[in-house]
Amino acid sequence: MRGALRVFRPVKQNRNFATIWASQLISTLGDRVHHVALAALVFQLTGSLTKTGLALVATALPDLLLGMVAGVAVDRFDRRWIMIATDLLRVPLVAIIPFLAYRSLPLAFVDLFLVNTLSIANRPAANAIIPTIVPADDLAAANSLSSISDNTSDIIGYPVAGAVIGIFSAWLGWKQGLQAAFIFDAGTFLISGLLVMTARTPAFTRVRAGAASIWIDLVEGVNFVRSSPVLRANTLVMLLGPLMLGAATPLLVGYAWNVLGGGEWEYAMLGTGISAGSIIGGLWLGSEPRMRPGLTIIFGLALMGVGVMATAVAGELWLAMATIAISGFGSMMVLIPSVTLVQLHTPEPLLGRVFSVRSTLIFGAIILSNAVGGWAGEQFGVRESFFVCGLLLVVSTLVAVLFPSIRGVDFTPAPTAEAGLGD
């Protein structure tokens, strides 16, 4: 019990981290409501899993096209103010999504692109701020707590989304129910931005200025990831998850509506199952400071695949929630040690770019997988496609474990880590 409570130490002892953590908790709560509302909006308007997959592609495309540029911005400007600006700018853009979708779905996709363009600057800014306000000994606990907060938002946000959409839809009609969900999401960004304004972070020092150096900054971030054996191996193995399971995101929509015979509530509860497993995984990892990250990540990927395969076989909501929770537990075994590895093996001035390089690669894999997932569900069946996604991840993980560079990584920073700053 005492070990599990260790994960809460950064919040109890560090006011600035607690403020950043609370802001992310609130905005992530809104994100989960947004996620359910978006899936319901597109599927209700079109009845197509392929078009639902395309909506998810629209939300991920900025990560592929602009992710590394966002990383340069995070390393050039005050990260706290980046978080504030991106939160506040998303308020009106999120609120108008359903109004645009009822008139023109492509126009709504453009708005989704703009929303996630702001999100891709917010995420690496938050990740890069943490090691500047949290001691190195508490980083794993802080990252565990951040992941737990994400998934606590899932457990609250998914049922809230289902309830908000259901209640307002029954009262005013399904369009108004979805509008209420998006307005709720916009409100969480407003609260998050105001919270970050109260945080205090170390004074920002601009390392390099001028538009001419943007390319140099981009290349520097890419080269650092390529030159670090730990980051290179971890980035490659991290890509297995989004490549194999990104397709499961649109397939979950079909699973909720077509396999379970439900709708928004069933979809929301599947997300809740994932989150429950993730919270348990985050608490466990936060109490295990001596974990072996390489083997932990590999075992986590395998668990994710097993959970998806078991969910494909399940046909009842509560059983599916239990099996998909296995996948959520595994995802924390991948995410938490991977983020900690980056923070410990990367010089602080490069953190924004390194996180963005990885995010660009991961979301590129998600875009490809999202597009394939919706199509596969319509061509071969939802359950069959879901099972194959999990099976492919398990097989890929068994291959990855054969490589010492992947299974043998640890948290000890390399002696030459600072070399990535360039001459």
Q: Mind listing the pLDDT tens digit for each residue in 240-266?
A: 888 777 778 788 888 888 888 887 788
Give the separation between CA 93 and CA 96, rounded to whole angstroms.
Answer: 6
Residue 267 lies in a domain: yes
Max avg pLDDT among 53-57, 120-124, 328-332, 419-423: 328-332
User: Closest Cα to residue 116, out of 423, 311, 359, 283?
Assistant: 359
Nearest 5°: CA angle at 116, between 379 and 85?
170
**Which residue type does 278 have?**
S
What is the C-alpha to C-alpha distance for residues 2 and 71, in angstroms, rounded to an integer?
37
Gap between the Cα atoms of 122 and 101, Å rounded: 25
Q: Does residue 349 sit within a domain?
A: yes
Quote the pTM value: 0.64
| CATH code: domain of residue 399 | 1.20.1250.20
Q: How confident is the model at residue 309 (pLDDT cuts 50, 70, 90)?
A: very high
Whole-number CA gyration radius for the chain: 20
Ramachandran region of residue 134, left (φ > 0), alpha (ψ -120 to 50) or beta?
beta
Closest CA relative to residue 417, chosen from 317, 368, 348: 348
Tens-place pLDDT, residues 217-236: 778 888 888 888 888 888 88
Specify whether the CB–CB gap between 60 and 359 falls below 8 A.
no
Summarize the confidence of residues 280-293 as an average pLDDT. Answer: 71
In terms of residue numbers, what domain contains 284? 2-200+210-421
310-314, 378-382, 416-420 — which is least confidently predicted?
Answer: 416-420
Q: Report the distance separating Cα 295 and Cα 312, nearest Å.
A: 26
Kindly state whether residue 205 falls inside one of the protein's structural domains: no
| Alpha-carbon distances, residue 358 vs 105, 246, 273, 346, 423 (angstroms) | 30, 16, 27, 13, 23
Average pLDDT over residues 135-142: 71
Q: Is residue 408 part of a domain?
A: yes
How far apart are the C-alpha atoms of 300 and 335, rounded to whole Å?
A: 9
**Number of compact structural domains in the chain:** 1
The verdict on residue 193 lying in a domain is yes
pLDDT in tens, 155-202: 676 777 777 777 777 777 777 778 888 988 899 999 999 999 988 877
Identify the residue whose tokens are 């046909």. Answer: 315
